Structure 1
């Protein structure tokens, strides 16, 4: 047996150390990017949840208004003087509800668009 010890040539050792250091930096960069992406996803999730909560609250509010309008209308024909009065009340109710539904649909569309845009914004 020889007493000679195996030594890695200095050039190879330097190259291996540089490669290891580069690999370590790349891995650290990868981890930092992954953490940032996870944080961004959590933020977007919170934005979407808040938007969904707002949309749900508005939908419930609209439903309450629409039911109340229907209940109010249901009593009106009982006090009508004649068939012409009933027809006028019905026409007014239908027109009011169509206007209300169009406004509600527009408002919901705006909220949904705003929520989608907020969720798509990059966090700085």
Structure 2
């Protein structure tokens, strides 16, 4: 028994693509403003904030790419495979991001605790 095809009109797929593009541009402007804002502040946590912002930006880019792939899925099996791959990569990335940020937080904490000469 074959998987039923997803019957989505081309116009709806085009509209979804345009909506994804618009949302991605809006988030791009948000991240540009946030990066400029974080760069103006000089604290021990500034680098961690920049890194967290960069990780969030990477996650959003991955989410937009994921949405684009889903828009073009032709059947439920393909959509589920796309979803599975996305979740697997996001879990891997989240673990790596947490390790990096945890290490940086520990480093900043050690630097902050050092006696000033």
Q: Which range, TM-score by smaller chain?
A: 0.5 to 0.7
Q: Could you say which structure has the higher helix fraction?
A: 1
Q: Do structure 1's residue 120 and structure 2's residue 116 form an aligned pair? A: no
Name the TM-score, length of structure 2 as normaliser: 0.61
1:83 counterpart residue number:
76
TM-superposed deviation, 1:123: 3.1
1:66 and 2:52 aligned: no
What TM-score does the superposition give when structure 1 sets the normalisation length? Answer: 0.57
Q: Structure 1: which 5+ residue stretches go unaligned?
A: 1-48
Q: Which runs of 4+ in 1 moved over 6 A?
A: none
Name stretches of at least 5 consecutive residues in structure 2 with no aligned partner.
1-41
Q: Which has the greater radius of gyration? A: 1
Partner of 1:100: 93
Q: How many residues align?
A: 76
